[in-house]
Chains A and B, each alone.
Chain A
Amino acid sequence: MKSNMVKKVYNWLDERYDLTPLIEFARHKKVPVHEHTIWYYMGGVTLFLFLIQIFTGILLSMYYQPGPDSSYESLRFLLTKVRFGWLIRSIHSWSANLMIFFAFVHMFSTFFTRAYKKPRELTWVTGFILLSLSMAFGFSGYLLPWNELAFFATKVGTEIVGAVPVVGPIIMKVLRGGSDVTGATIYRFYAIHITLLPALFMLVLALHLVFVQKHGMSEPEHLANLPESRKKYIPFFPNFLLRDLILWLIVFDILVFLAVYYPWELGLKADPFAPAPAGIRPEWYFMFMFQTLKLLPGHILFIEGEVLGILIFMVGGLLWMLVPFWALKGRPDQRIQPMEFIGVVVLIYIGVMTILGYAL
């Protein structure tokens, strides 16, 4: 009976849209199996967390009222008067962080397995854009509760933007909606966070996913060179998908655990006229940049240290986005491959700076 119904719907659609190529595609889609297969799941996990963000974000927007007087109060209302409001908010906050974490893991795993190589250059580029957008999500969302930490972190963060030569000051003004972080900033960040970024993100994500489908999963070099008969694959459907699902559920469980046992704090309401409290720091994924800027001396040669740091990060980011187009090729017999070396250095740098940021 049930399967009958499904069949009817299928036939109805098939008749009109010819689903055969889709089905064929799904049937033949396969995923290589080797010791690095685990990394194929990271993009999926990031995607799953993004879906959770969309979902919980919509729920939050039903009670959240942006505004210097209302942001904090409406969240307090959500947390104290709306049933499970605390849970939804806590999940949104935790999932945001996990999503960015997994996007980083995903990026480095594709970097080290060199999945960015031809023909997947644009997959990498769109991926990088997705990570940047994710961080923009994080930055804009951080301010929305209008609590002490958020207020001052946003002040500092936008100040850094303002230090960019030439265009910095005007971008800062546009971001802040004035020369200072005020209620106007909340409205802007809110608009960016719930309309601009999701729209952009979904567009780029669609491209990213289409590219991935188009090319199928990349195979690490040593595997790609093997004769067809010695390669191992599993079908995407249902084998890989089931594994995906199981992993998603595990991530979900961890997420809910974190959200319930370590609920995201509301903090104290921001008072723009109060002196900055001690311990103002950005979210962890900005820490390595923040810490670098802090450690740079006031002046390097003729240029301000902070400005130089920002320029270096901008150039570095651009180079990183364009990795597929300049990737160095080592000789196969070389023990240390140049790109691997670069990746490790970048990882260590980010790691050390982040730890320093929390330790100092």
Chain B
Amino acid sequence: MELNRRKFTNMLIGGGLLGWLASVLYPLFTYLIPPRVEEQSLNSVKAGKVDDFPPNSGKIIKFGRKPVLLIRTETGDFRAFSATCTHLDCIVQYREDTKHIWCACHNGMFDLTGKNIAGPPPRPLMPYGVRVQKNEIIIEKPTNLG
């Protein structure tokens, strides 16, 4: 009887301990497993492979919370600009016909250096850096702009 009680307590403690350990270690270990999404680097983002971008095309890339317009010009080089229109924050796009950056909201236009050339936008688009590394396009925050 006495022995049974003891056994019971020990089992209770053992079971409790095991369960407790599991409920502490499980979150712990899953915490340590690197998350599926790569940790966002705040200074650069991978935009994809060079071959995914035909010349004379543009694509919006999410740079953290900021949309960035990546352009491959007719001559094949890459450029990137903040895609937020300097007028009223619409998202600009690359126009394959005019070969300009265009904001549909009020027909704002920017040239391929980001300069505002027509319509209401008051300021140029901020340029981002683009680097090609092993066929991979990397967009970088311009270092001189904080």
The reply, when asked whether chain A contacts chain B directly with Cβ atoms under 8 A, is yes
Residues of A within 8 A of B (CB): 59, 62-63, 69-70, 73-74, 77, 81-85, 87-88
B-side interface residues, number (CB < 8 Å): 14
Known: A73-B64, A87-B27. A82 touches B35 (CB 8 A): yes
Main secondary structure of the interface of B (DSSP, over half): loop
CB distance from B51 to the nearest CB of A (A): 29
Nearest chain B residue, comparing its CB with the CB of A74: B39
B30 lies within 8 A of chain A by Cβ: yes
Which of A69, A74, A83 counts the most chain B CB atoms within 10 A? Answer: A83
For residue B36, which residues in chain A have a CB less than 8 angstroms away from its CB?
81
Contact with A along B18-38 (1 / 0, CB 8 A): 000000000110111101110
CB < 8 Å: which of A70, A77, A83 contacts B30? A83
Q: Can you list 11 contacts pairing A with B, beta carbon distance less than 8 Å?
A: A59-B28, A62-B32, A63-B39, A69-B146, A73-B40, A73-B64, A83-B33, A84-B28, A84-B30, A87-B31, A88-B31
Question: How many angstroms between the C-alpha atoms of A70 and B41 in the bound complex?
Answer: 9
For residue A59, which residues in chain B have a CB less than 8 angstroms away from its CB?
28, 31-32
A83 lies within 8 A of B31 (CB): yes
A84 lies within 8 A of B39 (CB): no
For residue B33, which residues in chain A have a CB less than 8 angstroms away from its CB?
83
B42 lies within 8 A of A84 (CB): no
CB distance from B131 to the nearest CB of A (A): 20
Known: A83-B31, A88-B31. A70 touches B42 (CB 8 A): yes
For residue A82, which residues in chain B have a CB less than 8 angstroms away from its CB?
31, 35
CB < 8 Å: which of B32, B37, B146 contacts A81? B37
Question: How many angstroms between the C-alpha atoms of A62 and B35 in the bound complex?
Answer: 12
CB distance from A247 to the nearest CB of B (A): 15
Nearest chain A residue, comparing its CB with the CB of B31: A84
For residue A83, which residues in chain B have a CB less than 8 angstroms away from its CB?
27, 30-31, 33, 35
A77 lies within 8 A of B27 (CB): no
Which of B30, B33, B42 counts the most chain A CB atoms within 10 A? Answer: B42
For residue B146, which residues in chain A have a CB less than 8 angstroms away from its CB?
69
For residue B27, which residues in chain A have a CB less than 8 angstroms away from its CB?
83-84, 87-88
CB < 8 Å: which of A73, A81, A85, A88 contacts B42? A73
Question: How many angstroms between the C-alpha atoms of A74 and B37 in the bound complex?
Answer: 13
Question: How many angstroms between the C-alpha atoms of A261 and B42 in the bound complex?
Answer: 31
Nearest chain A residue, comparing its CB with the CB of B20: A249
A81 lies within 8 A of B35 (CB): yes
Nearest chain A residue, comparing its CB with the CB of B34: A82
